[in-house]
Structure 1
Amino acid sequence: MSNDQPIFTVLSEGQQPEKEERVSGGPGASSLPATAAASDTESGIFSVECELCEDHEAELDWFCATEQKLICSHCAVVGPCRAHSVTSLATRVSTVRNQLVDVCEKIQLQALRIERFIEHTLTDKEQKLQAAASRAREQVLAQVSAAREALEEEEQRLLEAVQREEERVEQCLLTQQAHWKQALSSLSQTRVRLVHTLTHTPDSQLVGGGGGGRGVPCDTDQLNLNSSCSDSKLLRGLWATAVLLGQNARRSSLFKFDERTVSPLLTVSQDLFTLTFTNKKSRQPSQYDPARFDSWPNALGSQSLSSGTHCWVVDVGQSAAFKVGVCYSSLERKGSGNEARLGYNSESWVLSNYDGDYSFCHAGKKVPLQVVKRPQQIGLLLDWPSQTLLFYEPDSNAILYSLTQTFTAPLLPAYAVTDRSITIAH
């Protein structure tokens, strides 16, 4: 069938004109000529060829819409379908034919729309896809190339720095060895002379005698490799991003507050995820526990960290005064001195915020932090193998502060809050 040929014309080809019905006294008195009925049945709409009614031996030239079947005129007048909705076979065929013509025309229009969609829309989309994919590939290659170039340059710089530091320490060691070997030889000679003096010098001459020495050898930092020679902000940032976003990125098992350590100034939720600062009127006396902080608004985590890589997130958006970090389990719990105050001793490392003033605190020293936007969450990343502690902002993975520290004992997550509440994300 040609696409340009109207579907109605195609369906109507060879169709015989309908002959008038003979109506006399109702539907039972009308009938179609046999040729018209044969034409309709041969069209394939009804698979009936000259069939007769089983009850009346009359031609099936009417259609019962109620029972959806062909009937004869007697069935329509006096038979079981006399109260049903009936129509002549020719009228029914004409209606169905028109419906089919409408369906075919709609199918043809839909086919044309599909053809246009394939020829125009999909083809245009394919061209745009190829262009966009090409731009994306170029962008990826350019970014990876820039990162690779920067990383290779940083690698070369760091390796040269480590080499220079190694040569410096080697030179110091050689100098020290030469110096103390000479001192050892000199001391040996001096000892021989002193022994000779002791055995051969009269007592009267020993009165004014004296001894000498070469000093006491001692270890110094000059004889150690300076670990800062391998420190790189770029490398640390790339490493942290790889840990936080890379294929092997994973979060540690759920962290919770250790209820035993929670200060009387705080309350902890039943699920042990939320820590809230309480005013004086709401405070309840707490049972004595050697693990509990009794003066500072502190609490520790329940999970000890001494191996592997761990990261956890704390919701801090509701609080304007808090501390998050880590500490040794040996941190003092009693009293109001700095020994129990997070960030003011050598056993704790915390990020502190007080009314928008962000800083890193350790051993009483503060390092101010530039925070462009107040973070709703603070993330912590502890990598035990590299002895690295890192504070970051989870939404952007921007590093707020990082340090490499030789930790000599297992660490516990440490928290403090003096405004509203903080929550460990889970």
Structure 2
Amino acid sequence: MSADVSGTESGSESGTESGPEPGPEPGPESRPKPGPGPEPGPESGPEPGPRSGLRRGPRQGSERSQLCPEHFEPLCWFCLSERRPVCATCAGFGGRCHRHRIRRAEEHAEELRNKIVDQCERLQLQSAGISKYMAEVLQGKNQKAVVMASAARDLIIQRLSLVRSLCESEEQRLLEQVHGEEERAHQSILTQRAHWVDAVQKLDTLRTNMVDMITHLDDLQLIQREQEIFERAEEAEGILDPQDSEKLSFNEKCAWSPLLTQLWAASVLGSLSAYEGQPARLLLARTPSWECGSLLLHSVSRKPACSTLVGICPRP
């Protein structure tokens, strides 16, 4: 690439020297003089035919092209070594970028546009994934937490209804734990929803800014803001995809109580034995928690009917 540009620029230099120049002196002193003065540069740029034919830089009909501060020529090339736009003279033989890797500015700008388009597509897919996560996963988690909390309430109330006189305080405590767990799960879901809504807004803002860059910036402005484009792309990559977490689920362990389990088992076994007319000793002896009857004897009541119902008796 550099060899083609060098040949092109050497030809453009020969074409410029053979064409008419505004300076009257043909000597070697006439070459450095037009550099400092701002007047001859812009006027002598478009006059020679061969140079304007060789330079095929971007032309804007309504916008004025930026010029090289050294040679007052359009910045139609891009130096890959110095990462900046240069003119044809800088890229040609004897220029400061003669042996550097260069390419046309319009090609580099087109590559940047393609990168922005790819980044916008990735941002759009990421936004769609987050929106789907909020619409399906978080919504399902919220409904599941409500259903599981309701089922836990029903289970607790059904079990405690058998021994209400003993379990009023335990019922209140467990209901508060279930309510607290439901509030925690619901709050976690709301926090997740707010976080991902903010993430989607950030992604939409970044994508809108990148689309505006493609739409409103010309090639040179796009190249000059290359660093800003990369920073916004890195900012978008910093927003991670949503991951499922156990904190978003309802924890069933909050509804478990050793006291409640033992009382419920003893009450059920006692109720079944009284209903079927079988001795409670046989039923309780078949269970690993036979000792739960002693707890019920000292906690529920001192009436004989209670011991008969629960089946409190010594081991055979």
Tell me the TM-score normalised to structure 1 length. 0.26
Higher-RCO chain (CA-CA 8 Å, sequence separation at least 6): 2
Higher fraction of strand? 1
Higher fraction of helix? 2
Tell me the TM-score normalised to structure 2 length. 0.34
